[in-house]
């Protein structure tokens, strides 16, 4: 990640601790949360980073309001929220006497919170226009990581005077997935919204389920741990993230699929499939297929085959299923593969839709099929070109 530019000034770096005592039913006040194979899979992959922008009326977005009202309220509500998410204040380690890495939380552990001020154009950054990716980097905090220890979460509040503010989050992917990280942000927002924070109670859909109920008869957690120890090993217990640098000229932009756009794609697909058995195609599949084809054409990819990767939530797909509010990772990678020339051809959309549909159907039949190779496959993916899709509007 690039160093902060002159447009961002760090005002304060503080540590926020969970407000004692823990809420009823929350994770124990101190102890460890065992990592499952779904967690260990992501041990050294870059953190889950998100950036949220909040616009405010000009009359309210004054430096005095931010300093005396907004920032103190965000700090206080964060402390109360951590009562429900105590593992996020903990640290990952990998002791020599432990076969697997462990997540520990002890009384006194805290979360790093950076308060900053930016003179950048708030409306430019928060728009859907093309923006150089490096312009966002100073708004997202670094996650403290060494070979011996890794923090679970870091947060940053950046004030844009007379405009609004942003909240940047960095969360360790070996502790939680997108669904759990979004639940934390929603919980923070819920508690911040209510004035009586000392008695804050989360709605049922935001209460986290911490019991480690995921079964692992194939000892996948051990297999994945060994994969990591043997990479650049032997016995490599480093917790440092793999370095994955995006191209220096990367841009971020938002492309919106309207209902009419999706319907046009659907009708185009149906017309191509007129003489074949009718197939229901989801909005997600159509959007991914169209994007896949466009990227292959735009980048003029020469490889014989092209891969796409996206994640599927396995909470309801496991046997037996686990609660929807399970805290941690519970996702499987779905990897459609298609002939590049097919994607570039006249029926590129059909080729992409079929590849995505077949990959989804295969995963639905057995979400853990081939799971013993998940980490080794991830290592291979890092060395090749792949289009990746993440996140969900349903979290």
For residues 295 and 328, membership in a common domain is answered with yes
pLDDT at 198 over 60: no
What's the pLDDT tens digit per position in 294-309? 999 998 888 899 999 9
Q: For residue 380, is it within any domain?
A: yes
Average pLDDT in the chain: 90
187 and 105 in a common domain: yes
Distance, in Å, from the CA atom of 354 to the CA atom of 288, rounded to the nearest integer, reads: 11
Q: Residue 29 — very low, low, confident or very high, per pLDDT cuts 50/70/90?
A: low
Q: Radius of gyration of the chain from Cα atoms?
A: 22
Instruction: Identify the DSSP state of 241.
Output: P
Is it the case that residue 5 has pLDDT exceeding 60? no
The predicted model gives 315-327 an average pLDDT of: 95
**Residues 284, 327 within the same domain:** yes
Q: What is the C-alpha separation between 160 and 174, in angstroms, rounded?
A: 32
Strand, helix or coil at 56?
coil
Rounded to whole angstroms, how far apart are CA atoms 133 and 105?
A: 34
Residue 23: is its pLDDT beyond 60?
no
Number of domains in the chain: 2
Is residue 266 assigned to a domain? yes
Strand partners, 328: none
Residue 67 maps to a domain: yes
Is 246 within a domain? no
pLDDT band at 385 (very low <50, low <70, confident <90, very high): low
Q: Confidence class of residue 248 from pLDDT cuts 50, 70 and 90? A: confident
pTM for the model stands at 0.91
Q: Above 80 in pLDDT, residue 276?
A: no
Where a domain ends, among 162, 196, 230? 230
Task: Extract the tokens encoding 234.
Answer: 């032997």
Query: DSSP assignment of 296-364, as one string?
Result: HHHHT--SSEEEEEEEEE-TTTSSS---TTB-S--EEEE--EEEHHHHHSTTHHHHHHHHHHHHHHHHH
The three state secondary structure string of 183-240 is HHHHHHHHHHHCCCHHHCCCCHHHCCECCCCCCCCCCHHHHHHHHHHHCCCCCCCCCC
The predicted structure's pLDDT at residue 199: 58
Q: Are residues 102 and 216 in the same domain?
A: yes
274 and 224 share one domain: no
The CATH number that applies at residue 124 is 3.30.559.10
pLDDT at 196 over 70: no
Residue 93 and residue 150 in one domain: yes
Q: Which domain holds residue 54?
A: 8-230
Integer CA distances (angstroms), 204 to 183, 192, 209, 373, in order: 11, 17, 10, 36
Residues 67 and 197 in one domain: yes
Note the residue count of the chain: 395
Q: Among the three residues 230, 246, 280, which one is the final residue of a domain in this structure?
A: 230
Assess if residue 51 is contained within a domain: yes
Return the higher-pLDDT residue of 31 and 94: 94
pLDDT at 4: 42
């Amino acid at each position: 990640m690039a160093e902060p530019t002159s447009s961002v000034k760090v005002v304060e770096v503080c540590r926020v601790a969970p407000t004692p005592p823990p809420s009823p039913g929350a994770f124990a006040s101190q102890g460890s949360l065992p990592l499952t194979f779904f967690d260990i899979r992501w041990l050294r992959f870059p953190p889950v980073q998100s950036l949220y922008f909040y616009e405010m009326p000009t009359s309210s977005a004054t430096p005095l309001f931010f300093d005396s009202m907004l920032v103190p309220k965000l700090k206080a509500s964060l402390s109360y929220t951590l009562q429900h998410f105590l593992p996020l204040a903990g640290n990952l380690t990998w002791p020599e006497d432990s076969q697997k890495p462990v997540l520990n939380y002890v009384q006194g552990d805290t979360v790093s919170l950076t308060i900053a001020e930016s003179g950048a154009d708030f409306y430019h950054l928060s728009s859907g226009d093309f923006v150089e990716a490096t312009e966002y980097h100073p708004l997202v905090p670094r996650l403290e990581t060494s070979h011996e220890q890794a923090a679970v979460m870091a947060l940053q509040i950046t004030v844009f005077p007379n405009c609004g503010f942003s909240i940047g989050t960095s969360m360790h992917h070996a502790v939680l997935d997108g669904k759990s990280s979004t639940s934390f942000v929603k919980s923070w927002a819920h508690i911040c919204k209510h004035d009586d924070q000392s008695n804050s109670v989360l709605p049922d859909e935001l209460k986290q389920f911490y019991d480690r109920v995921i079964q692992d008869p194939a000892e996948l957690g051990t297999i994945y741990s060994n994969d990591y120890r043997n990479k650049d090993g032997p016995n490599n217990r480093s917790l440092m993230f793999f370095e994955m640098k995006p191209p220096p000229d990367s841009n971020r932009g938002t492309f919106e699929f309207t209902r009419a756009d999706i319907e046009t794609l659907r009708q185009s697909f149906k017309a191509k499939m007129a003489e074949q058995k009718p197939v229901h195609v989801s909005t997600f599949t159509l959007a991914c297929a169209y994007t896949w084809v466009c990227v292959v054409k735009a980048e003029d990819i020469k490889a014989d085959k092209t891969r796409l990767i996206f994640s599927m939530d396995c909470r309801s797909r496991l046997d037996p299923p686990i609660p929807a509010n399970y805290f941690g990772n519970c996702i499987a990678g779905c990897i459609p593969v298609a002939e590049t020339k097919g994607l570039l051809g006249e029926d590129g959309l059909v080729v992409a839709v079929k590849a995505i549909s077949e990959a989804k159907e295969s995963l639905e039949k057995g979400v853990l099929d081939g799971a013993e190779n998940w980490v080794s496959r991830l290592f291979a993916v890092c060395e090749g070109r792949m289009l990746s899709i993440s996140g969900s509007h349903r979290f």
